[in-house]
Structure 1
Amino acid sequence: MESYKTSTLSNGLLWFGASVSIAEIFTGTLFVPLGFTRGFFAIIAGHIIGCILLYYAGIIGAKSGKSSMESVGLSFGNKGRNFFALLNVLQLVGWTAIMIIQGSRAIGIMLSTDIGMQANLLWCVIIGAAILMWVIIGPKNLEKVNIVAVGSLFILTILLSFTIFKGGSQTYINGKLSFGAAIELSIAMPLSWLPLISDYTKDAKHPLIASRVSVITYFAGSVFMYTIGLGAAIFTGESDIAVIMYKAGFGILGVLIILFSTVTTTYLDVYSAGVSLKTINSNLSEKTMSILVCIIGTVTAILMPVEQFESFLLLIGSVFAPMISILIADYFILKKDNLNKSVDKVNFIIWLVGFVIYRVLLNVDMVMGSTIPVMFITLIICVITNKIKNKRQKEIKHVFRNY
């Protein structure tokens, strides 16, 4: 492992860069049936919930000095964590493909390159190459680059928000979305970063402060992006942010927004995929694996453009929400450490129960969404089950001592 430590500024820039993405803006457009006021409230409420969970996930890495998937071993064992590490790699390859294909399509619209698949192929390769350059630069040397890239992104997105909101009147509201489903979509994006954040907080010079700054900057940036998406859909009558930038005459500035936002976000996906693969096999190189994931994600984006974005977000939630609930229960309440154990079968059964409950509750219209009830239920089951298990083990030991 590399021995350098990242600054608090570096972590803040990294996570603000993660929040500024076409994917976050697109998700915001899905809130349009609620109108601007209710939609904005759902964005805020969901992000508060999601970012609190993100913070506690980051704290575990900050305090333990372990990467996200290494820390999962505290609950599921040193072999059991490999199951979630593999799922994490798969979702990160998926995210990489989604981000690249969305970015390539958006740039194609901005440049009016109406040449079909060849345009997508060209921009997928260019975006993939730019992400690859970020990986090669590496976290140690990325702070100065990110100051320029993220600073420019912030200024450009401010200009974009003025373009979107200057009209000030709603053009249309259609479609159907419940308030609970909206909160769920708002939670889903920060929730998708749960399996990644410890990969960065563990290497911070001031881990606890870096965790707070990372989550606060992500919260601010993500809420801003969702709101731009919502405002774009309501106030301009367009749900495609690339079309809005094109009509507003952003030109090369719009291309830069899309390119840099895609790169700064997707870099975290490919880097963390490398960290997860190293968790599975310590002989692997994080950087080499990150490069491999970047290439696979780029090829996937070219050959199999990823659709069903909303379903993908909810699938991530159903896998990782119960997982992090168990990890939080074990780390903060039960003070449990299973790293010397191969697999904790009890926790795996609890996770499976949480996964099934999540999938079932997605079909139920709940005001607060599915994530919070599922996480609360999973956490309670975990605490009670483990306390009963510990009590029985103590009773058995007591019987054997008396015998």
Structure 2
Amino acid sequence: MSTSDRVRTGARTSDAPLTLDEAPPRTLGLGESLGLWANLGVSLLLPVAAVFVVLPGRPLWVTLAAVVVGAVVGSLLLGAVAAAGARESVPGMVLLRGLLGRRTSWLPTAFNLVQCIGWATFEIVVIAEAAARVLDAPRWPFVLAAGVLATAMALRPLGVVRLLARYAVWAALAAVAYLFVQVLAEPLPPLEDGGATSFWTAADIVIALPVSWLPLAADYTRHARSARAAGVGSAVGYGLATVVMFALGVLALAAYGSSGLDVIGALLAVPLGAVAVLVLVSVELDEAFANLYSTAVSAQNVVGRLDRRVLVVGVGAAATLLALTLDVVAYEPFLFLIGAVFVPLAGVLIVAYWLTPRGAWDTSDTAPARPLYLLPWAAGFVAYQLTLPTYFPGPGAGWTAWWSARQADLGIDPGNGWSASLVGLAVAVALALPLVLRGRRQRAAA
């Protein structure tokens, strides 16, 4: 199908295309982009993750400062990738063809499939757990209901995006505003328990949330009317929501969490908190749907003519089954591992894309392999692990032990307190830059 045919086909399409052969409609303006990304950021997973952000024994403002710093870093990376997806009008994994080539881009695609299914599963678990606690009922019926509803939403994603931007975001903001008013009316003593060991490890947890959307961002911003609408909408919308939701979790723990680090329990202790939490539970479905949809779109990078509706149904069923057995204790290492994989990749992609002349970014089926760009990505991942090895309990403890031994070999203090995200990002960018500049010189000489 020619480019002109794809554009005409996309113009006639009222929703996201079913295959990569169809061009995406460009219907999302700045307001809709802001609404979409703000709504995606209003998630119960963020205040739940606040447990791992708290710096025990430190003033609350130090933890909140780490939240702001992490949100700014992560959302700027998200905005840069989102804008690139809008300019090229392709999904996230297809955008990586311009960096790595078509077949080489299957490697990050495989990682993204794993993380999308993981996030969808976590979202379903949080929805079901919160609903079960509010209504004092078994969890499994809510797992099934959330899985079915999220799957149905993913079948018509653009229609859902428009509804979220117009209505759901306002309901979510009302619930969050109410919870903030109630929490701030209580005394806020210092927290003596928490999961962060330093300011920068706290910031790394926050960075991991917007970074988790980097491989997915272009799946939605390819429908934006401009790169500006995509970049500003994603960075500002998700960044502000990240600060608000993490801050809500931290403050709720300070106000109501004296009996333990239980964020959902702390929110339920707020007067009429159950009603506000139920509103957030219903809004939470958008994150689950988004991850299911992006899993399907990512798989199309390998086989472009697969119908995304069939893929969505299969992935939705898998995430629902996983949610029935998931141990939420695995959440923290999952966040760190996402950062270790995708922060360096984001750095390489952003440097390469924005230094490449417009029109030279090849996302076609014949995009040549560029395996050299795997090196700065891999180096960034190694630097991340050497700074802060991802901790896995139980059977995965060998991974942590191996990287800890490499730290010892190199004389790196395990309690260094550095930001693994910023170290990994800096290494990846520093090694990618010479490759990008060499490519520019070769194009100029050709």
Equivalent of residue 183 in structure 2, options 157, 164, 178: 164
Work out whether residues 70 and 206 of structure 2, in 8 Å CA contact, stay in contact via their aligned partners in 1.
yes
SS for the counterpart of 1:30 is helix
Q: Give the alignment partner of residue 211 of structure 1, picking from 216, 231, 238.
A: 231
Determine the C-alpha separation between the residues in 2 that align with 1:211 and 1:302: 36
Q: Does 1:193 align with 2:228?
A: no
CA separation in 1, counterparts of 2:415 and 2:204? 10
Alignment RMSD? 2.4
Structure 2 residue corresponding to 1:153, chosen from 172, 181, 191: 172
Indicate if the aligned counterparts of 1:232 and 1:239 stay in contact, CA closer than 8 A. no
Superposition pairs of residues 115-126 of structure 1, within 5 angstroms:
119-126=138-145
User: Which of 304, 323, 328 is the aligned partner of 1:282?
Assistant: 304
- Tell me, yes or no, if the aligned pair for 2:121 and 2:319 is still in contact at 8 Å: yes
Q: Secondary structure at the match of 2:229?
A: helix
Structure 1: 5+ residue stretches without partners: 114-118, 399-403
Task: Give how far 1:144 is off.
Answer: 3.0
Could you tell me which residue of structure 1 aligns to residue 352 of structure 2? 330
| Bigger mean CA deviation after superposition, 317-326 or 244-253 | 244-253
Give the ranges of 4+ consecutive aligned residues of structure 1 lying more than 6 Å apart after TM superposition.
none
Match 1:265 to one of 265, 280, 287: 287
**1:97 is matched with which residue?**
121
In structure 2, the CA distance between the partners of 1:338 and 1:146, relative to structure 1 (3 Å rule), is closer
Code of the residue aligned with 1:77 in structure 2: it is G
Residue in 2 aligned with 1:370?
A: 420
Q: 1:229 aligns with which of 238, 246, 249?
A: 249
* Mapped partners of 2:431, 2:136: distance in 1: 54
| Distance in 2, Cα, partners of 1:385 & 1:148 | 46
- Shift of the 338–356 alpha-carbon distance from structure 1 to 2, 3 Å rule, reads farther
Find the counterpart in structure 1 of residue 65 from structure 2: 41
Deviation at 1:66, TM superposition (A): 1.7
In 1: Cα distance, 2:144 partner to 2:437 partner = 53
> CA offsets per residue over residues 234-263 of structure 1, 9 Å max, x none?
122253333234333537624522422320
Q: Equivalents in 2 of 1:49, 1:217: separation in Å?
A: 14
Calculate the TM-score normalised by the size of structure 2.
0.81
Counterpart contact for 1:57–1:197, Cα < 8 Å: yes
Structure 1 residues 101 and 317: alpha-carbon distance in aligned structure 2, compared to 1, 3 A threshold? same
Instruction: Give the 3 Å change call, closer, same or farther, for CA 183–317 of structure 1 in structure 2.
Output: same
The secondary structure found in structure 2 opposite 1:308 is helix
Higher helix residue share: 1
- Using the TM superposition, name which of 201-210 and 222-231 deviates more: 201-210
SS in 2 for 1:307: helix
CA offset digits 1:346-377 (Å, max 9, x no partner): 11222222211111111555565111222122
1:106 aligns with 2:125: no
CA contact (8 A) 1:35 1:173 kept: no
Q: Using the alignment, how far apart are the partners of 2:424 and 2:362 within structure 1? A: 23
- In 1, the alpha carbon distance for the partners of 2:25 and 2:361 equals 25
Contact 2:253 / 2:266 at 8 angstroms: preserved in 1? no
1:69 partner SS: helix
* Alignment of 1:384 onto 2:426: no
Residue 201 (structure 2) aligns with: 181
> For 1:37 and 1:390, how far apart are their aligned partners in 2?
45
Q: Deviations over 1:171-198 (max 9, x none)?
A: 6423452111011111111111111111
Give the distance between the partners of 2:135 and 2:184, measured in 1 at CA.
23
Q: Does 2:378 align with 1:352?
A: yes
Maintained 8 Å contact 2:87/2:226: no
CA distance in 2, matches of 1:137, 1:111: 30
Offset, 1:141: 5.2
SS at 2:293's partner residue?
Answer: helix
Task: Indicate which of 163, 174, 198 corresponds to 1:144.
Answer: 163
Give the match for residue 57 of structure 1: 81
Measured against aligned partners, the alpha-carbon deviations of 1:208-236 in whole angstroms (never above 9, x if no partner) come to 22320222111111110000111011122
CA distance in 2, matches of 1:306, 1:89: 20
- SS for the counterpart of 2:113 is helix
Shift in alpha-carbon separation, 1:246–1:284, aligned structure 2, 3 A? same
- Kindly tell me: are residues 389 and 138 of structure 1, through their superposed partners in 2, closer, same or farther at Cα, counting changes over 3 Å? closer
Distance in 2 (CA, whole Å) between partners of 1:388 and 1:213 is 33
Deviation at 1:106, TM superposition (A): 1.6
Cα offset, 1:53, TM superposition = 0.7
| Larger RCO, structures 1/2 (Cα 8 Å, 6+ apart) | 1
Is 2:369 the counterpart of 1:343? yes
Please point out which of 114, 123, 130 is paired with 2:149: 130
Q: Quote the offset at 1:388 in angstroms.
A: 5.6
Preserved contact between residue 43 and residue 280 of structure 2 (Cα < 8 Å): yes
Aligned-partner residue type, residue 187 of structure 2: G
State the 1:30 CA deviation: 2.3
What is the deviation of 1:145?
5.1
Contact 2:53 2:203 in 1 (8 A): no
- 1:67-86 matches, within 5 Å, as 67-86=91-110
> What letter corresponds to residue 354 of structure 1 in structure 2?
G
Question: Following TM superposition, by how much is the alpha carbon of 1:200 offset from its aligned partner in structure 2, in angstroms?
Answer: 1.2
Alpha carbons 2:179, 2:273 under 8 Å: kept: no
Which is further off, 209-218 or 178-187? 209-218
Contact kept? 1:124, 1:301, Cα under 8 Å: yes
> Which shifted more, 326-335 or 78-87?
326-335
Give the distance between the partners of 1:172 and 1:355, measured in 2 at CA. 32
- What is the deviation of 1:169? 2.7
